[in-house]
Amino acid sequence: MKTLQYMFLIVSTLFITSCEDVVDVDLNDENPRLVIDAAIKWQKGTAGETQTIRLSMTNNYFTNDVVQATGAIVQITNSSSTIFPFIEVGNTGEYICTNFVPVINENYTLEVTYDGETYSATNTLLATPEIMYVEQETVTDVDGSDKIQLKWFFQDNGAEDNFYLLTVKNPNKVIPEYGTLSDEFFQGNPMFGFYSSGETESGTTVLLQVQGVNEPYYNYMNKLITIATTNGGNPFATPPVTLRSNIVNQTTFEKYPLGYFSLGEIDLRNYPVQ
């Protein structure tokens, strides 16, 4: 049986304190850009009618404060011109739809109107295979410590080219971990995600997830994860370079937003570590 494994990479940052002269660097602040977090995920076995889109603005490099983008008009339209409105909850920058209708292979168009400008993107909701089973193994690391390794298996569809986004949420870590996977050399074979961690103990429940995505989003996430290795493994931290997405500013083209509009069915497994 041919399989493909993916190792999630975590880069730890080492802070070194020493006596040094303070150097003031004058950095030019770029005009704030809109950040659109529009990942529509339909969990298998659910109706998928409740979906959330989050809007915020980029901020100064030296601050971690999040500036919410409030007062926007947000909606998604399907190919039959049915409009699904997303209504903001208070002034939180969080916009929720409670009547969304997810359909596999349906095309959807996102439209966001904010501060006099309109942003839009179109994408297709793709199917995702089921997680069939999970395997666990404990190995001894080079330093003599034990490390838990998990594999979650799913069956690739051999009739088409497929791309996957893999996610692991470990309660012992603040930030979820991500990876991408392609069936380029494993068409129609069982495939698996691979996760290894020395911070996972027996009794910990780890969330394992797989999502079918299209090739452009696969490429986007590949680049984002690579950038994230300089941000402590967080793909949603402020990147050192600007990564263009599929969302276009229809009013002022050069004022493009950050973020991505994606749709996909997801399957997940809450796995209790033995």
Q: Where are the domains of the chain?
A: 34-126+237-266
Phi and psi torsions of 197, nearest 5°: -155, 135
Q: What is the DSSP letter of 219?
A: H
Please state which CATH number belongs to domain 34-126+237-266.
2.60.40
What is the C-alpha to C-alpha distance for residues 206 and 229, in angstroms, rounded to an integer? 22
Q: What is the DSSP letter of 78?
A: E
Which residue in 84, 127, 81 sits closest to 104, CA to CA? 127
**77: alpha, beta or left, given left = phi > 0 and alpha = psi -120 to 50?**
beta
Strands 107-114 and 205-213: unpaired
Residues linked to residue 148 through DSSP beta bridges, in sequence order:
138, 197
Q: How far is CA 81 from CA 29, 106, 109, 110, 146, in A?
A: 40, 12, 10, 12, 55
Sign of CA dihedral 208, 214, 215, 219: negative
What is the C-alpha to C-alpha distance for residues 113 and 122, in angstroms, rounded to an integer? 15
* Inter-residue contact 189 to 156 (CB < 8 Å): yes
What is the C-alpha to C-alpha distance for residues 119 and 270, in angstroms, rounded to an integer? 36
* Inter-residue contact 248 to 178 (CB < 8 Å): no
0.85 cut: is pTM over it?
no
Number of H helices, E strands in the chain: 1, 16
pLDDT tens, residue order, the chain (274 aa): 444 443 333 333 333 344 455 444 444 556 899 999 999 999 999 999 999 999 999 876 556 678 999 999 999 999 999 999 999 999 999 999 999 999 999 999 999 999 999 999 999 999 999 999 999 998 887 777 788 899 999 999 999 999 999 999 999 888 899 999 999 999 999 999 999 888 788 889 999 999 999 999 999 999 988 887 665 545 545 455 578 899 999 999 999 999 999 999 999 999 999 8
